[in-house]
Amino acid sequence: MRMEAELRRALQAGELHLHYQPQVDVATRRIVGLEALARWDCPGLGAVPPSEFIPLAEESGMIVPLGRWVLEAACRQAAAWRAAGLLAGVDHIAVNLSARQTKDEGLMDEIRRVLAATGLPPQLLELEITEGVLMENVHANIALLHQIQQAGIHLSIDDFGTGYSSLSYLKRFPIDQLKIDRSFVQDCEGQGGAIALAVIALARSLGLRVVAEGAETAAQVEFVARAGCAVVQGFYFARPLPAGEITLLLQRGR
Ligand code: G
Ligand code: G
Ligand code: NA
Ligand code: MN
């Protein structure tokens, strides 16, 4: 309970900030995407990991205002990078949507408001929804995904392979990209490797982009690249970094 009250206060006090993790083209080593990830440095508690405060925010409903804050902060930052001419080679900035947010009636209005307020072109925004959340409420989500697509925003299925998508649904979702869950990428020498290969083949045959998450070693990067996955998001290339450090990387053309 203490942490929930603290989180509510922190959001108002401006204690949350965003890090951005690069998605890197393996062949050119250039940044082609960035995923916004929430961070909380609490004066009383220290750095609270998102694996703790995001589930708490989800349970308490705080994720709705928190998610709105994340969306707006990420779009504002992306618009600033764009205005500085730094997004020439970058396809999108990704923002995570939680289960509760997908059920929020005001979500689409909020997204439209944020895009208008920040001036970010919708094609530069990508929303990530986990496979598990998507399959929880398939029919409502198909309608939501179509609204998102009609607004010109890109869609990515996060943690792909950990839920249980029926492949026939996958064809009906208006999505652009699959993100292979890091558990498979990191187990590429074991059975996870077979699953990573299958996801890459599936994405290619459905005409979807694919990103391998969580690659920490050169061997893991090579494994997915050889299988046809051109883009990697993982500690091997870069951790999630503060905006200022991302600015430097973008200026250097990496
Ligand atoms: O950022 P990692 O670096 O530790 O994030 C841990 C978990 O928290 C991940 O599953 C990530 O999706 C989730 N997470 C981080 N930031 C956000 C956010 O802004 N919104 C939502 N819904 N989840 C987030
Ligand atoms: O939304 P999602 O769960 O995909 O959020 C990305 C999460 O994956 C964040 O917690 C981020 O810090 C984490 N992550 C990204 N790359 C790596 C990696 O190479 N290794 C590990 N262990 N975690 C990673
Ligand atoms: Na994500
Ligand atoms: Mn993921």
Report whether residue 70 contacts ligand 1, using a CB cutoff of 6 Å. Answer: yes
Report whether residue 216 contacts ligand 2, using a CB cutoff of 6 Å. Answer: yes
- Which of these, 102, 213, 112, lies nearest to 153 by C-alpha position? 112
Best probe residue, ligand 2, of 157, 160, 182 (max atoms within 8 Å of C-beta): 182
Atom of ligand 1 nearest to the CA of 39: 16
Q: Which residue has the higher pLDDT, 238 or 136?
A: 238
Cα 75 to chain centroid, rounded: 13
**3-class secondary structure per residue, 102-157:** HCCCCHHHHHHHHHHHHCCCHHHEEEEEEHHHHHHCHHHHHHHHHHHHHCCCEEEE
- Which of these, 80, 168, 148, 67, lies nearest to 119 by C-alpha position? 80
Report whether residue 37 contacts ligand 1, using a CB cutoff of 6 Å. Answer: yes
pLDDT tens for each residue of 157-212: 999 998 877 788 888 899 999 999 999 999 999 999 999 999 999 999 999 999 99
User: Do residues 18 and 241 lie in contact, with contact meaning Cβ atoms separated by under 8 Å?
Assistant: no
pLDDT tens for each residue of 107-153: 999 999 999 999 999 999 999 999 999 988 888 999 999 999 999 99
CA 53 to CA 143: how far, in whole Å?
29
Atom of ligand 2 nearest to the CA of 236: 19
pTM higher than 0.95: yes
ipTM over 0.85: yes
What residue owns the CA closest to ligand 1's atom 19?
A: 38
User: H-helix or E-strand containing 158?
Assistant: strand 154-160
**CATH level 2 (architecture), domain 20-36+63-251:** Alpha-Beta Barrel (3.20)
